[in-house]
Amino acid sequence: MERGVLITFEGTEGSGKSTQINRLADRLRCTGHTVRMLREPGGTPIGEEIRHTLQHSENNRAMTPETELLLLNASRAQLVREIIRPALHQGEIVLCDRFYDSTLVYQGYGRGLDLVAVKAVIDYAVGDTRPNLTLLLHVPLDVSETRRLARQSTASVQRDRMEEAGRAFFERVERGYRALAAEEPDRIKWIDATQNLEAVEATIGSLVEPWLRVG
């Protein structure tokens, strides 16, 4: 029986997910909660190797969408079994930077893979391990694009293959996120990430509060 809480963060590039995950983790730890922070793809030694292959390797330029889908879910299957499930069994709060919703929108809507097939692969990878709450941080596409291009121009930042797709790809990704949020409004909470950091943090806090154990 899982006693912890799994909270995932989603959003297009440049939405401020990493900043808000860190803020939430700090707040929760200060109030006595045990928090596990993870990212996808990655989070385990195997997953980090897959992450490099997917995003940073110069040898990945011919990667097909199908290969991308399977590698993402190989990393996810390892993360769920090695880290997430044990942490939840111990009653921890698990904060994950992206989870399977990203695959639905990036590989399903974005790459154009069949959604039924994408969901089947995801189901096999995660089993019954599902987020209790998903915080979807949204910024307009123009803002996302500006931030993404600025990040790519920084010499110290590793190449990220996922960020190299064109505008039409990210338009499809945004449509995918809107569709998912409409399908699961109880789990997926749409957050306006154009607000200042404190306002976004306060919104996240109000959404997370009901999931925190009392005593």
pTM comes to: 0.93
Range of the domain at 56: 5-211
Number of domains in the chain: 1
pLDDT tens for 17-35 read: 999 999 999 999 999 999 9
| CA dist list (Å): 60 to 25, 56, 141 | 33, 8, 26
The enclosing domain of 145 has a CATH number of 3.40.50.300
pLDDT tens for 170-215 read: 999 999 999 999 999 999 999 999 999 999 999 999 999 999 964 3
If you search the block for the tokens 């960020």, which residue do you land on?
Answer: 163
State the Cα–Cα distance between residues 59 and 164, nearest whole angstrom: 15
User: Under the phi-then-psi rule, with left for phi > 0, alpha for psi from -120 to 50, and beta for the rest, what region is 16?
Assistant: left
pLDDT tens for 151-176 read: 666 655 677 888 788 899 999 999 99
